[in-house]
Structure 1
């Protein structure tokens, strides 16, 4: 296993500069944010434009990574393929297709996505719709030699009542996704706020994990005991008062020693990609880089190089 980072934490920096800094920081891989250019979605970044990733551009990216001793652990584009607006949904699907094609040209890196949700219909209808609209994407990825994987982020901000807006948030839904031919981009930080033990949830599914994202989570039980797991209701207190927040690895409650042990026992030998969203270490790019280095110092000693 190797430690890398998701580039979205530093959206205003060039991929070339991120690669140089990653090498200096001792990171071994980059998971590259590949949203459409100029996207204003929270957490979006466009360090690689898949629509312009022709063979020449792909060769330049491969050369860049080679010069800095980095692996490309994947492309990330997490938008809503089940968006209720047909035009927006179509745009998301077209961009996912370009991500798949670019990943193939870059050597077969996996592509991370969300299942999404249309909150105007019930979950059963959404899942049936997803089977119809995601299957062509899975088939396209298979034809290009690319693994399409879903991240288990619940995306409650995509639902008007703060219910999960991404139908890949639980082991039950992972199994549904696996039946479609999708893989898992596993992020343990999303599970404690749902009442799920990340180590117990991970153990049966390591063979379907294609990529791991590393961020921690800190919880505040006194706030949870007032609002419940779903958080505050609009009009009944401060709706912005969360009972948990993301942290750098080691500053929250994830037992990284056990997570990595379960991954190792299950045969995972891929990248642990730091996804930095810690509000305490995000006031400026320098703080973000320091937060990433904090996570790296926690994770790297847990990985034993095999001869």
Structure 2
């Protein structure tokens, strides 16, 4: 198992800056954000120009990672592959193919994405649509020796009423996602906040968990008593602010990282545990963000036998 980090939390920095810092801080691998840089998500970042990725970019990237003794665990483009706007959906699919092509050129084993959802249609219709359009993307990746992995984030931000916007948030849905050919970028924080014990999900799906993200979650039970499970209604400053939970870096939330990492080891996980930093306390500028990443490293480094 390697301890890595997702680069999306440092959109202001270039990939060479991030690689140099991560190596000095003791990280072993990077999960590189490859959004095109044209969207509006807070944690969207563009650290590799995959849409125009030629031999020169390949050589420069491989040399950078070799120079800093880092692995490249995955390329990250987490977007809505079932977007209701056909033009936007095609933009997403096109960029995902660019990410897959770049992964093939670099020898990167995985590209991460979301299943997503058309929030104007019920779940049953989305499942039927996914079965129609998503296997083509899985096949495109497989023909290039790249695996597509989906993260189990709920993505309420994509639904106007705060309902799940990514149909891969529960073990029931994972089994359906696996039937389409995807594998899992497992994140325990999303499980805990929807009432699922993350540790209990490792053993049954260990053969499909090929990449994992390390993000913690802090839960305010008294606020949940006020707002209910679905969260604050009508007065959210940001769509994802439910009022009773927030993401934290590992070690500052409710996740039992000793049990998580031990169970991953027990089940033979040899991939990358990648810190996904979305902690509002340790964010705002690169100095605070990197301090948060150091807290995460301090929590996980004694547990991850690299």
TM-score (norm 2): 0.96
| Deviation of 1:303 (Å) | 1.8
| Residue aligning to 2:112 | 112
Q: Partners in 2 of 1:27 and 1:217 — Cα distance?
A: 22
1:168-193 deviations in Å (ceiling 9; x for gaps): 10011111111111000011111111
| Deviation of 1:108 (Å) | 3.1
| Deviation of 1:161 (Å) | 1.0
1:274 and 2:265 matched? no
Unaligned stretches of 5+ in structure 1? none
SS at match of 2:65: helix
1:105-131 deviations in Å (ceiling 9; x for gaps): 010330000000001110011011011
* Counterpart contact for 2:2–2:305, Cα < 8 Å: no
1:173-212, aligned counterparts within 5 Å?
173-212=173-212
Unaligned stretches of 5+ in structure 2? none
| Deviation of 1:235 (Å) | 6.9
1:296 and 2:297 matched? yes
Q: Partners in 2 of 1:5 and 1:148 — Cα distance?
A: 18
1:4-19, aligned counterparts within 5 Å?
4-19=4-19
1:149-160, aligned counterparts within 5 Å?
149-160=149-160
* Counterpart contact for 1:38–1:46, Cα < 8 Å: no
Which shows bigger deviation, 161-170 or 54-63?
Answer: 54-63
* Counterpart contact for 2:30–2:70, Cα < 8 Å: yes
1:47-80 deviations in Å (ceiling 9; x for gaps): 0111111122112101100000000010000111
Q: Partners in 2 of 1:88 and 1:202 — Cα distance?
A: 34
| Deviation of 1:304 (Å) | 2.6
**Residues 96, 260 of structure 1: alpha-carbon distance in 2 compared, 3 angstrom cutoff:** same
> Which stretches of structure 1, 4 residues or more, deviate above 2 A after TM superposition?
37-42, 232-236, 238-241
